[in-house]
Structure 1
Amino acid sequence: MLPALAHIDAWIFDLDNTLYPASANLFAHIDRRMTAFIGDMLHVDASEAHRIQKAYFHAHGTTLAGLMAEHQVDPATFLAYVHDIEMDILEEDAPLAAAIARLPGRKLVFTNGDKPYALKVLDRLGLGEHFEAVHDIHAMGLVPKPQPSAYAGLCQAFAIDPARAIFFEDMARNLAPAKAIGMTTVWVNNGSEQGPEAERDHIDYTVHALTPWLTSILED
């Protein structure tokens, strides 16, 4: 293990655009479903629905959080609709599975999606057996990353010492609260959509592909 990471005993991973590359475009299907949901609900055209969706995403952390705050949308209805997508674009990732299996300590998924969707993605990637648990939006009490309570709740639920944890995430802004409580942070900068903020001083490592980096730290 890379000496700087020898103290880590909890490996925490975001799901979408982190455990699979943004280039897979799976989340693009969810993005379109979110736009359609808003268009149908508010009776606006696709362009306006997309504008509203992104405004809520940037202001509230997730589109769902914005819809709940502004329109009292039922989260179960929204999540069921936007996650009703085909996953045949994803393939089993044996090299990533092998690297994660070798990591010393616990491995968890920390996602603003819901657990049924996360389990489908993990199964498709061949990663399901390598993770202890999925901490999803329901476990967060529907208060998503990057709200600090989401991170505190994760640590409490699994008795995680943040100083001994590392968090991998494609959304740079979602790493700031993790760093604030003492986690080591890794930005998976693989081309996924980011918020408008420019600060990056809360990031310890920046990687463009997860598997090669995990393999390299295990070989050092």
Structure 2
Amino acid sequence: MLQRLAHVRNWIFDLDNTLYPASADLFRQVDAKMTAYIANRFAVDTAEAYRLQKSYFLGHGTTLAGLMTEQDVDPHEFLDFVHDVEMDVLEENAPLAAAIARLPGRKIVFTNGDGPYAGRVLERLGLSESFEAIHDIHAMDLIPKPQASAYAGLCAAFDLDPAQSLFADDMARNLAPAKAIGMTTVWVDNGSEQGHDADRAFIDYTTHDITHWLHDILEDQ
């Protein structure tokens, strides 16, 4: 393994658009469901619902966080609705499963989605046995990445030393709090929607494909 990654004992991965490519368009289904939820809940047209959705997303880290803060939306109702999507756009990724299996140490999924949805995604990708645990939005007490408490809660829940941990996410802004507490950061820059912050000083590595990146570092052993 790359010598500069020899310190990593905890491999932490975001789920959506990280463990599968954004081009799979699964999250587009979720995104459309969020717009539909807002349109139905507040009796607005699709354009206004989409505007509100993105305003909440950019202002609060996730659409759900904004809806909870500003509209007192029931998170369970929202998550059940938006995660009711078809998984047939995802394919089993045996090379990714093989690469994760070779990583030394612990492997954890850290997602702003919920556990049942994450489990369905992992099963479709052939990764159900690849991770020790899924740390989801409920484990974060519904306070999502990039809020600092989400990262502190993750480390406390699994007794992780941030200095021995690597975190990969497709949202660049979600990497800043990880870097702030000492984690090594990997940005999966595969076309996912980003926020307005152009600062990337907190990113240690950038890849367009997490499978290729993992195989690359493993081949350097």
Alpha-carbon distance between aligned partners in 2 of 1:119 and 1:65, rounded to the nearest angstrom: 22
For the residue of structure 1 that corresponds to 2:129, the secondary structure is: helix
Q: What are the superposed Cα offsets for residues 91-149 of structure 1, whole Å, 9 maximum, x if unpaired?
A: 10001010011000000000000000000000000011010000000000000000000
Q: What are the superposed Cα offsets for residues 58-78 of structure 1, whole Å, 9 maximum, x if unpaired?
A: 000000000000110000000
Alpha-carbon distance between aligned partners in 2 of 1:118 and 1:97, rounded to the nearest angstrom: 16
- What residue number does 2:86 align with? 86
What is the 5 A alignment of 1:40-119? 40-119=40-119
Q: What are the superposed Cα offsets for residues 147-178 of structure 1, whole Å, 9 maximum, x if unpaired?
A: 00000000000000000000000000000000
TM-score (norm 1): 1.00
Alpha-carbon distance between aligned partners in 2 of 1:17 and 1:113, rounded to the nearest angstrom: 12
**Offset of 1:212 from its aligned partner?**
1.1
Alpha-carbon distance between aligned partners in 2 of 1:60 and 1:122, rounded to the nearest angstrom: 26
**Offset of 1:35 from its aligned partner?**
0.2
Task: Say what the alpha-carbon RMSD is for the aligned residues.
Answer: 0.4
Alpha-carbon distance between aligned partners in 2 of 1:145 and 1:130, rounded to the nearest angstrom: 22
Alpha-carbon distance between aligned partners in 2 of 1:109 and 1:26, rounded to the nearest angstrom: 17
Alpha-carbon distance between aligned partners in 1 of 2:139 and 2:122, rounded to the nearest angstrom: 18
Alpha-carbon distance between aligned partners in 1 of 2:98 and 2:70, rounded to the nearest angstrom: 43
Identity across the alignment (%): 70
Number of residue pairs matched by the alignment: 220
Amino acid at match of 2:183: M
- What residue number does 2:15 align with? 15
What is the 5 A alignment of 1:119-130? 119-130=119-130
What is the 5 A alignment of 1:1-220? 1-220=1-220
For the residue of structure 1 that corresponds to 2:23, the secondary structure is: helix
For the residue of structure 1 that corresponds to 2:206, the secondary structure is: strand
Question: Please, which runs of 5 or more residues in structure 1 have no aligned partner?
Answer: none
Alpha-carbon distance between aligned partners in 2 of 1:140 and 1:84, rounded to the nearest angstrom: 21
**Offset of 1:219 from its aligned partner?**
1.1
Amino acid at match of 1:46: T
TM-score (norm 2): 0.99
Amino acid at match of 1:197: D
